[in-house]
Amino acid sequence: MYADVCYQKSFLKQVIARIDFATPISQLEKAVPTKLLNAIVKNFPIVEPADMLMQEVALEGNSIKHSQTATKHWNYYSKDRERQLTLAPQHVFVVYTTYKKYEEIRDQFSAVIDALAKAFPETKSARFGLRYVNQIDLAIDDPTNWDQYVDKDLLSPRKFFGEEDPITRLITVVELKYDDMAVVFQFGMPNPDHPAQIRRPLFVLDLDASILQAHDLTEAIGYMDEGHSKIQEVFERSITEKLREKMNVKPIQQ
């Protein structure tokens, strides 16, 4: 029903797509292959490599041994820095802080994954994840009353508490499983002023879809489509028509 609509004003804080490699790609400690680099900088032209310290803890006999290992992170940004891609021997991920439409993220991430699969054809993914973090920030009189904007069934935990129960945070976590696709849904009032009582109206709908079994890199975009479909379905069930109006819902232009 909602596959053919888009929102002119969303409350998305972040959209993240990530692949963790089953085995680290050691070649990425030194350099990024030219063809892969060309595919990345097409949409992420600002290059800022960095060395990151990995903390390791090992138990040896009766003592605990701490060690640090430096690993290369190749960071790339769009010109406006509203999107970032990070490539490391252990993983690759993109982060978008401004969201236009799913197809844009899919196309840009797909181009990188296709080039990555060609550069390192033996690489497999241990995990794929797609996460949408919505932070609904509206001026409402009661910062804990979201009846007009969020589905009433999601708000049932709030109904349990009365005015004599000053709420400082109210978050619910639900884990779902659709065949091989897992979805973790966190929703509620995180309260940026915690541990003070909730004063600022803020409601979060945080949806994280993932595949936890090993697969070829070429399968990742199919899983991305599946994850997006599940996330969209749950998100649309979570909100009211009044919130859709606030987000200026429009049909997708063909």
Residue 195 preceded by cis peptide, ω within 30 = yes
pLDDT at 252 over 60: no
Q: How confident is the model at residue 70 (pLDDT cuts 50, 70, 90)?
A: confident
Q: How confident is the model at residue 254 (pLDDT cuts 50, 70, 90)?
A: very low
pLDDT in tens, 180-190: 999 999 999 99
pLDDT at 231 over 80: yes
Cα torsion for 103, 116, 124, 31, to the nearest 10°? -140
**Residue written as tokens 């992420």?**
44
Bridge partners of residue 171, in order along the sequence: 188
Q: How confident is the model at residue 47 (pLDDT cuts 50, 70, 90)?
A: very high
Distance CA 12, CA 28 (A): 32
pLDDT in tens, 75-108: 999 999 999 999 999 999 999 999 989 999 999 9
Q: What is the mean pLDDT of residues 50-58?
A: 66
Distance CA 76, CA 91 (A): 14
Q: How confident is the model at residue 164 (pLDDT cuts 50, 70, 90)?
A: confident
How high is the pLDDT of residue 131?
98
Q: What is the pTM of this model?
A: 0.90
DSSP conformation class of 235: H
Bridge partners of residue 63, in order along the sequence: 60
The runs of H, that is alpha helices, within the chain are 34-41, 102-119, 156-160, 220-238, 241-246
Distance CA 151, CA 134 (A): 15
